[in-house]
Amino acid sequence: MQPSIVAVLVRVGPVVVLIAAGMVVRRGGLVSSSSMEELKKLVVNLALPAVLFRAFFDMDLDWSYLSIFATILIVCVVLWFYGVWSGRTVWRGRPYHPFLTTGFEFGMLGIPLFAAAYGMQYVGYIAIVDLSHELFIWFVFVTLLLRRRDGAASLAQTAGSFIRSPVILGILAGLLLNALGARDAVRATAAGQVALETFSLLGGMLVPAILLIIGYGLRFSGLVLREAIGGIALRLAALIPIAAFVVLVLVRRVFALPLPFERAVVTFLLLPPPYIIPLFMPESAHNERDYVHSVLSLYTALTVVLFVVYVVLNPTI
């Protein structure tokens, strides 16, 4: 039986309320920006890796997942080249435009939205969707960002950033133990049970903390808002037909993946560009940073609205 509209709103309502609460916290000066940055570090370095470890540790791996692995990787690459082309022909004067046409903010927005709406037990599905995206982000996207900022980026530097990332370590550890068939052995020991329960407790702070952080960080610069809307429209012009093909043709018909994967893919493709972009921009590029921040903030708000609508129309999994 389909849930009532009230039941659906009860599930997605806290997402909106917590994001709004984050905005109130900032406007009211209840928490300093430096304190919020420290909270973000805590979430990214502890809670998020814990959730991803449990997701990959608990899931039943299947070779059919390679289809979605390849699909998302191709989508990211196609969107990058589209961004390069549109930056040269339509959106000139914004050197970071290609970085805003590809990539998806999975960790800080995808997981909390998906988990809040459909349940933490289904996070493994969107984690699988994200797997090739992580490789693209760390080995292609970040390399190109560093090259844009510094003029060059070595493979060793990129690989070092990859293997030092707590998020990547959480994914790899969960995948490795799962692939080795060690799940039962870990669960059979007291130490393993303590570790898994600790990860579950850390995961419990993820959704509310990240949603508050997102609300706190939402800022709109009136000077570049109109241009930010144009940049978002250019991304959506390519992404909408690609997403429709991926979901309606590949996921549903060609790959025939189960419904949780469809929900996960749609959620993933709704996400804004990666929030890490400003971290790799030179401090002197004030105008570009304002533009990128405006795009990310506006796109985040758009994602939340579209996701709530999607969940109202598709409440079951």
Show the tokens assigned to 285: 């590029």
CA 307 to chain centre: 13
**Nearest 10 degrees: CA dihedral of 124, 126, 131, 136?**
-160
pLDDT in tens, the chain (317 residues): 455 567 667 777 888 889 889 989 988 999 898 898 898 888 888 988 998 899 889 888 888 889 999 999 999 999 999 999 999 998 888 999 999 999 999 988 999 999 988 988 899 999 999 999 988 998 889 888 888 877 765 666 667 777 788 888 998 999 999 989 999 999 999 999 999 999 989 888 888 888 898 888 877 666 567 888 999 999 999 999 999 999 999 999 999 999 999 999 999 999 999 998 887 888 777 788 888 888 998 999 899 999 989 998 998 88
DSSP 205: T
The pLDDT score that the predictor gives to residue 1 is 43
Verdict on whether the full-model pTM lies above 0.85: yes
**What letter would DSSP give residue 224?**
T
The dihedral region occupied by 281, where left means phi > 0, alpha psi between -120 and 50, and beta the remainder, is beta
Q: Residue 307: its pLDDT value, please?
A: 93
Q: Are 184 and 169 in contact (CB under 8 A)?
A: no
What gap in Å lies between CA 297 and CA 182, rounded to an integer? 42
Long-range contacts, stretch 217-220, CB < 8 angstroms, 24+ apart: 217/22, 217/26, 217/36, 217/297, 218/19, 218/22, 218/23, 218/297, 218/300, 218/301, 219/293, 219/294, 219/297, 220/294, 220/297, 220/298
Q: Which of 152, 121, 104, 109 is nearest to 274 (CA)?
A: 104
Collect all residues with Cβ–Cβ distance below 8 Å to 265 and sequence separation of at least 6: 68, 129, 246, 247, 251
Domains of the chain are: 5-313 (1.20.1530)
Sequence-ordered list of residues with C-beta below 8 angstroms from that of 221, at least 6 positions apart, any chain: 228, 290, 293, 294
Residues whose CB falls within 8 Å of the CB of residue 108, separated by 6 or more in sequence, listed in order: 44, 210, 213, 214, 275
